[in-house]
Amino acid sequence: MNSRHLLFLLCATVLPAQEVVRRPELLLLLPEPRVLGTELSVRPEGARHTVFSPAREIAEVPGIQAYTKEEFQKLGVSVDTFAERARSAADRLLASIQPDLIKDAEGKVRYAVYRSDLPIMACLVTAPSLPATFEKLFGPEIWVALPDRHSLFVFPANPDALQEYSTDLAERYRADAHAASPEIFTLKQGEAPKVVGSFSGS
């Protein structure tokens, strides 16, 4: 082994691996309580308590922030164009993470959950590819709950499948200072999210 080869091996051993720096998402649709919405917010079909607000990730707490009217105007895009790009951003995020699959005693998947320290998991509800991701597990339609910004729960489209978890979901929504939605969304491929009910009882 020559000295040049030895030096290369030493450097490869000593030098740390280069960290992958993730860029903040600047085009997101943030699900949030209707009372927090702005004139830029849109209400999903069937929703009573939830709006989707144009938002971006920020370095400061709480990690995500809805655009003000003035900030949004500087982007130079319409709300519809922003929403289209935000759905693409949600799809990219969805492709980069894996859900936890929660199974029963027989090994059957009861539900799936996306969790992260990043306060953008609830934004996955707008990802067009989300229904296709779970089609083999749950069929062509899924129900989704997003009690807080850090999690998104995916269930089969069946009230019984979700019923036993409704109390826990409601508590998560009530206890979080940055709650997302108390409502249940149905998702089908090629269709926008629609609200089919609520786990909060209201």
Give pLDDT, residue 74.
Answer: 95
Give pLDDT, residue 30.
Answer: 97
**How many alpha carbons fall within 13 Å on the CB side of residue 59?**
2
Q: For 65, list phi and psi in degrees, rounded to 5.
A: -150, 135
Q: Sign (positive/negative) of CA torsion 71, 74, 75, 78?
A: positive
Give pLDDT, residue 202.
Answer: 58
Tell me the C-alpha to C-alpha distance, in Å, between residue 11 and each of 6, 16, 20: 9, 9, 20
Give pLDDT, residue 201.
Answer: 60
Give pLDDT, residue 21.
Answer: 60
Reduce the secondary structure of the chain to three states and give it as a string.
CCHHHHHHHHHHHHCCCCCCCCCCCCCEEEEEEHHHCCCCCECCECCCCEEEEEEEECCCCCCEEECCHHHHHHHCCCHHHHHHHHHHHHHHHHHCCCCEEEECCCCCEEEEEEECCCCCHHHHHHCCCHHHHCHHHHCCEEEEECCECCEEEEEECCHHHHHCCHHHHHHHHHHCCCECCCEEEEEECCCCCEEEEECCCC
Q: What pTM did the predictor assign?
A: 0.86
Q: Is 76 left (phi over 0), alpha (psi -120 to 50) or beta?
A: left
Token pair of 98 as six digits: 């894996």
Q: What is the mean pLDDT of each run of 10 residues along the chain (202 residues)?
A: 43 42 88 95 96 95 94 95 96 96 94 95 98 97 97 94 91 92 97 93 59
Dihedral (Cα; 173, 161, 194, 121), 10-degree rounding: 50
